């Protein structure tokens, strides 16, 4: 379940930092009862950015497969071996 805290709770920065590191997920900040910001630890941020890149690459790969933009693995390996005299 997501953590939601009011903006006034950001006064205690050490406690917020500990919370960010302990929950390993974004913390949603509200202002006047409405969503305003999201904060998270650097580790959580980096992990989410990494996974976002992975998903983008998977979508690109699926599109290449759908449009037939793929190569035969055996042919590619043969060309590489021939090129490098292996």
Question: Mean pLDDT over residues 45-65, rounded?
Answer: 97
Does 50 have pLDDT greater than 90? yes
Correct CATH for 1-40 of 3.30.413.10, 3.40.1620.10, 3.40.50.1010, 1.10.730.10 = 3.40.1620.10
**What is the domain partition of the chain in residue ranges?**
1-40, 50-86
Q: Please, which residues have CB within 8 angstroms of residue 21's CB and are 6 or more apart in sequence? A: 41, 43
Does 86 have pLDDT greater than 90? no
In tens, the pLDDT along 58-78 reads: 999 999 999 999 998 999 999
In tens, the pLDDT along 5-43 reads: 999 999 999 999 999 999 999 999 999 999 999 999 999
Rounding to the nearest 10 degrees, give the CA dihedral for residues 57, 61, 64, 68.
170
Question: 40 and 16 in contact (C-beta within 8 Å)?
Answer: no
Q: Write down the pTM of the prediction.
A: 0.72
């Amino acid at each position: 379940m997501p953590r939601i805290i009011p903006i006034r709770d950001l006064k205690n920065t050490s406690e917020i930092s500990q919370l960010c590191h302990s929950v390993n997920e974004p913390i949603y900040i509200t202002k006047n009862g409405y969503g305003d910001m999201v904060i998270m630890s650097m580790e959580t941020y980096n992990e989410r950015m990494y996974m976002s890149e992975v998903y983008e690459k998977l979508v690109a790969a699926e599109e290449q497969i759908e449009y037939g933009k793929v190569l035969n693995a055996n042919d590619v390996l043969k060309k590489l071996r021939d090129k490098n005299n292996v």
